[in-house]
Structure 1
Amino acid sequence: MATEPSDRLNALLLDRNAVAIVCRQPLESVEGPGGVVFPPTYAGKGDNAPPEYNISDFGDGRNVCTMDSVQSQANRIEAAFLTAPYRALVREVTVRAELADGEQRIIDVLEAPHRLADATIRFSDLRQDAERAFRNFRDAPRAVAELSPMSLLMGAFDSRGTYCKIPRALTARIEAHNVRRLVRRALYSAALTGKDLGHEDSKLSQIGLDNALDGPIPGGIIADGGIWREAVLNLIALRQNCGQRVTNRYDEKPSKTPPDDLSAYIFGLGLVSLTLQPETFLRQGCLLVAAAPVAATIRYADGAKTSFSLSTVDALEFAKTAALRFGVASLPPRQGHFQRELIDEANRQAQEKNEKKKVKGNRGA
């Protein structure tokens, strides 16, 4: 009799010799292989420097260009859990903020870039619950999961509070290999010029009148070595984040006891994240599609690997069962309120800290 997907996945989670699920998929421009695509740009060096792509050159003609970083991929994956049917897998925890113009904005923790450690939480009346969860993370990680389960999957660093650091268990990134850089220049030809309007002594290009030149600026890349999306579900980090501190010998047989509800829950979220169809429109000029199916493998501590196949349906069903067992449905929604008065106090403390560093530095000199 064929093994049920849930039995197979539970056995994988319990197998301490299994250390990761690795997925790799080739992507290409919607225009086809060799199409021009635009990576994200980053600030250049120096004042008024043009933006740059993040390209690592190896000095032998090979290079790697960041198309979507680990952080960006994590944010895209989390955004998918804001929509059905994935919304039911994660408790709704939000912060309501009143903006300067009186507008009300509600931010879901799934939208917060730093998850439970984000400033939206730290400056709200949920901060004490978040701080308590971070302080108890090593001994009782369930409190983190009840507020932000993605913090146990994608990681979180409470760098301005408890300094608790939760490792990433799931990483994904998109990179282009052996790229050729393109540059572009632009010419804006105004319908009306300053000369036409009698302003011959002044340039009006800043307000949209007069011709204007732009460039050279980055004009995209061509990836001769292909574009690849790679995702890794680190089973060791996942187990540790969920409180499994005892390290079994790798040659032990997998336990037949069902995994604990927290580990199964975070594992289910990880499986769904691996099988989600990634967002293909990354930015203007970068519309990617799959060039081949995902190749997934399970890697073992002794270096062995086996192919891994899991449908989106099976991943979702496993995650639903695990979420039900964990008790997501019984957790009521939480809404905190952003407290703007905390900002001044935080600024004051930060300034005092910087002043102490300066004094210490001067003494050392």
Structure 2
Amino acid sequence: MLDSVQSQANRIEEALQDAVDEGRIQIPVVEVDFSDVPVVDPGAEAEGLYEPIGRVTSLEAPHRVADAILRDSELDGVPFRNTPLGKKIGMANLRNATPLFEICPTALLLGIWDSTGPKGGLGTKFQRAMVSEIIGVNASYGTKTSSRIDPLGIRKDAAQIYESMTSDWTLDVTDAKKKSGKAVLKGKDGKPSEANHGNIVPSMSAVSRDGVPLAGGVTIDYAEQMTVLSLPAIRRLRFPIEGKDSREANIAGRTVVAALGLAGAVLAAERGLDLRSRCLLWPTAPLTWELLQTPGQLPQSFELTADAAIKLLEEAVAGAIAANLPWMKEPLILKPAAKLVELVRKSQQLAVQGGEEE
């Protein structure tokens, strides 16, 4: 597995967010704006964040519009989930997908479970209608090596170093931090390596009980990406308007969700496949779709450019608006609650002080 279903979903959302930011598409997005929170230098007397957050949107939050970041934010001083729009999230289900269609249609496409909302485990839940993954074929495990040659030639037993009262570390016992009257060693044993000095002996990556390297990467013959947009899953969605079901609105809403999936996948492909360090993939052929329309018949193949996908989405949205379905064209801006800002501040403070992330 080179890129999982969850990772691919995130890449699709990132591509959609980029398209929103660039003005290429207009889709409903809920945004938490941290820009009013002051940013200060570590050690400053004034309280604020040490690292700016900027904004977090429903396309960037791990759990989409049901994420705790949005839950713990406010609209005009009211907790988001207590606002009329926020309350709608808990009303959504397969027979009433209209609330999510209005606020976060990507949740209908990529799935959502509002398990931390007011209803807990009974919260709004939708399966993924689109899944995508990238696999490597005929993988051969490699071995990772690591080492460091110190240009200064500092030996591991050159001296003991201590936690300093005035800087990061010190050799001077009188300048060292004290605990129970004794100088506090830097790190575990006070070796120069605790301050990132000295050589690191070349080593091989660890292996599992089966002898497979745990961090050595793989070499593959080729990679294959498979993206599936489930039309049967989308057909289950209903879009009542003011409690009344209509065939026109159902078809219009489903068309938008399908068009949004195609646009997201094509826009993600347009960005390239630089998955991570040392994992850059280059397609050997254009992205091709196959429509499985009639059982027993061959699929219909077609290609779709990003511009064509965006036009398709625009036409679908226009049809939904004509059918009186709600559609937010501008982001809904929230502000983080004071307790959320304080939690972020304390976390950043711990990171500055060298605390390890759990």
1:212 and 2:200 matched: yes
Distance in 2 (alpha carbons) for counterparts of 1:329 and 1:145 = 7
1:134 equivalent among 80, 90, 94: 90
1:223 has 2:220 as partner:
yes
CA deviation vs aligned residue, 1:208-236 (integer Å, no higher than 9, x gap): 22111364222221113x21111000001
Following superposition of structure 1 onto structure 2, how do residues 274-285 of structure 1 map, counting pairs within 5 Å? 274-278=265-269, 279-285=272-278
1:118 aligned onto 2:67: yes
> 1:339: how far off?
1.9
Aligned counterparts of 1:113 and 1:223: Cα–Cα separation in 2 = 30
Kindly indicate whether the alpha-carbon contact (under 8 Å) linking 1:185 and 1:213 is maintained by their aligned counterparts in 2: no
Note if 1:91 corresponds to 2:28.
Answer: yes
Residue 290 in structure 1 maps to residue 301 in structure 2 = no
Distance of aligned partners of 1:301 and 1:206 in 2 relative to their CA distance in 1, 3 Å threshold: farther
- Against the structure 1 CA distance between its residues 105 and 257, is the aligned structure 2 distance closer, same or farther, given a 3 Å change threshold? closer
- Letter in structure 1 aligned against 2:309: A
Structure 1 residue 337: deviation in Å? 1.9
Residue type matched to 1:261 in 2? A
User: C-alpha offsets along residues 98-138 of structure 1, whole Å, 9 cap, x if unaligned?
Assistant: 48734463112111121112111221232233343232333
Unpaired runs of 5+ residues, structure 1, are 1-65, 245-255, 345-365
State which of 249, 259, 264 in structure 2 corresponds to 1:268. 259
Letter of the aligned partner of 1:212 in structure 2? Answer: I
Question: Structure 1 residues 205, 334: closer, same or farther in 2, change over 3 A?
Answer: same
Q: Give distance in 1, aligned partners of 2:93 and 2:136.
A: 37
Shift of 1:186: 1.7
Q: Per the alignment, do residues 332 and 298 of structure 1 end up closer, same or farther by CA in structure 2, a change over 3 Å counting?
A: closer
Which residue does the alignment assign to 2:304? 311
Matched, 1:322 2:316: yes
The gaps in structure 2 that reach 5 residues or longer are 39-46, 74-78, 162-189, 206-214, 241-246, 343-358
RMSD: 3.2
Instruction: Supply the distance in 2 between the matched residues of 1:145 and 1:214 (Cα, whole angstroms).
Output: 55
* Residue deviations 1:71-107 (CA, integer Å, cap 9, x gap): 1111111111123467523124211244873446311
1:238–1:299 distance in 2 versus 1, CA, 3 Å = same
Counterpart residue number, 2:57: 108
Q: Would the aligned equivalents of 1:81 and 1:87 in 2 still touch at CA under 8 Å?
A: no
CA 329–117 in structure 1, closer or farther in 2 if over 3 Å, else same: closer
**Aligned pairs for 1:43-82 within 5 A:** 66-82=1-17
Tell me the secondary structure at the aligned position of residue 95 of structure 1.
Answer: strand
Structure with greater Cα Rg: 2
Q: Is the 8 A contact 2:100 2:108 kept in 1?
A: yes
Aligned-partner Cα distance in 1 for 2:248–2:66? 34
CA distance in 2, matches of 1:95, 1:258: 30
Q: Which residue of 1 aligns with 2:144?
A: 184
Identity of paired residues, percent? 26
1:235 to 231, 237, 240: 231
Q: 2-side partners of 1:82 and 1:191: how far apart? A: 45
CA, structure 1 residues 259+131, in 2 after alignment: closer, same or farther (shift >3 Å)? closer
2:333 to 330, 335, 340: 335
RCO comparison, higher one (Cα < 8 Å, 6+): 1
Partners of 2:249 and 2:298 lie apart in 1 by: 24
- Size of the aligned set, in residue pairs, is 268
CA contact (8 A) 1:140 1:243 kept: yes
Structure number with higher strand proportion: 1
Q: Following the alignment from structure 2 to structure 1, what is the Cα–Cα distance between the partners of residues 33 and 151?
A: 46
Give me the whole-angstrom Cα distance separating, in 2, the residues matched to 1:280 and 1:76.
10
Assess, with a 3 A threshold, how the Cα gap between structure 1 residues 213 and 241 changes in structure 2: closer, same or farther. Answer: farther
